[in-house]
Structure 1
């Protein structure tokens, strides 16, 4: 039996589970809010074209309006100034959209402190327990923030000082992007960076270092609690938008049970 036939049998038989890591996309999907004078993305919306009526008696369809970075989405290198001249989302090699993934769980720390930052020592501690980070793979950073995704205000968690969401320190972001074999970083928050990352040096270091290194980002993931610390295979499927800096994506994980 071929390898692909074995995989299909495993999925059909339940020994390999397909876990959806994608947040439902609707008008209620939380979106990033930047302060003035910066421009903001539009939220997702549907506009009905026809629905089994005089506009089209046998079919239902819609126009959609959305930003590239709305909901669960993929960040291509060209999204950030440090990645200028790098791949747009249509140029990402398809072989890089299927990759191993590990999950680092900091949900307890984030529950105690919404501004919690992952440091290099936290990652090294994880490696001592679970083995090295996977070459050409994803680090999925679990913080429990997906539990807030149904409420824009709770999800952004902003006050007069700005948003308060967990993330990764500048030193750790640089180390992960430049000194580990990772392909990319996935998070449950609205972006790959912490809410306070506008004040870091450099600002938004996960974007700056990962995309500057030709690596990728995935954000607003869900259901990371259903994945093991290592052993999952991630399938990230953004739209191949020519010239696009990113795209809403369907993100699936294959998990051997």
Structure 2
């Protein structure tokens, strides 16, 4: 290739740029270069000065390319050339004798692009700023496996599985099942405690994706099966972990999940009724009014204490179409804060509740 011939190194389709595109003048190494709203500082600025000597420079991100996430760079090469190229990625036109520096320059150009806040351009895009994301390292299933032997609330219908088709006879395997709407790991609906209120089928999908905190009260529950979770338990947790965020689901880890495979101990019923810990009425009022929570969850068979016959916690939360999760498990695998819950309900028409699949995305 003759002296002064131009070489183009590119990565995809190209666009034409008129020769009138300005070339920055030679100058001593600057500390800051400002060009078309793109700032390059420090060492990168001094390197860019050398690139300018080779007649290489940046083109600002165009409005269209900000949306599409494409990065452009251009150079004019020598005077008198008819056009230059802008490429998706990195494009340089240089005298042939400088091609030994091309690779080093390419890496530097890409580093400079990253250094000028490309991420900010994305964040300003209206199509992106409204997006939400779940960041997690682990997914924990908070739902018990359903079987005919699970613990049941007194007088609730049994869990029944019937085989209705077999591989030998029908070529496929199929069962039908029967279960109470408030059995297994489940979520209660407003109409279970308030006449003419909403059923489980009315919850919007976005309302079932929630941040969660976990409050450990195992010590209190171990000493008193009828322990009523108080405001003092909330305040103690907040002293260690900070204020509970608005819209959170507050999960109470009583340790009762360990009794799941022993239904008699799990319900812990005697002549006075069930005995297990739960959230007190005053505590629920505090959480709803002072912390604006979305709901509560617990590893016992009820958010209310076993001896509470008015179901104050359920009634208060469900009056606001909130979330009440009962019979949770694996709460020991969750951190005190930072978890995101994704709750999958069975959309039973006008259901008073349903068994649920509760997935916890943990940091």
- Place the TM-score, normalised by the shorter chain, in its bin: 0.7 to 0.9
Checking the alignment, whether the CA contact within 8 Å between 1:178 and 1:213 is kept in structure 2 is: no
Checking the alignment, whether the CA contact within 8 Å between 1:90 and 1:244 is kept in structure 2 is: yes
Residue of structure 1 equivalent to 2:148: 27
RMSD (CA atoms): 1.9
Residue of structure 2 equivalent to 1:51: 166
Q: CA deviation at 1:85?
A: 3.6
TM-score normalised by structure 1 residue count: 0.86
Q: CA deviation at 1:124?
A: 1.4
Checking the alignment, whether the CA contact within 8 Å between 1:77 and 1:216 is kept in structure 2 is: no
Distance 1:115 1:175 in 2: 20
Distance 1:44 1:162 in 2: 22
Distance 1:212 1:189 in 2: 21
Distance 1:243 1:159 in 2: 33
Q: CA deviation at 1:228?
A: 0.5
Equivalences for residues 98-117 of structure 1 within 5 A: 98-117=209-228
Checking the alignment, whether the CA contact within 8 Å between 1:177 and 1:213 is kept in structure 2 is: no
Helix, strand or coil at the partner of 1:174? helix
**Larger relative contact order (CA 8 Å, sep ≥ 6):** 1
Distance 2:137 2:161 in 1: 34
> How many correspondences in the alignment?
235
Q: Which has the larger radius of gyration?
A: 2
Checking the alignment, whether the CA contact within 8 Å between 2:278 and 2:302 is kept in structure 1 is: no
Residue of structure 2 equivalent to 1:244: 351
Moved over 4 A (4+): 1-4
Distance 2:236 2:262 in 1: 33
Structure 1: where are the runs of 5+ without partners?
34-39
Checking the alignment, whether the CA contact within 8 Å between 1:185 and 1:192 is kept in structure 2 is: yes
Distance 2:156 2:290 in 1: 33
Q: Deviations over 1:54-76 (max 9, x none)?
A: 2x1x2101011111111000111
Equivalences for residues 80-91 of structure 1 within 5 A: 80-81=193-194, 84-91=195-202
Helix, strand or coil at the partner of 1:197? coil
TM-score normalised by structure 2 residue count: 0.62
Checking the alignment, whether the CA contact within 8 Å between 1:177 and 1:215 is kept in structure 2 is: no
Matched, 1:69 2:161: no
Distance 2:174 2:237 in 1: 47
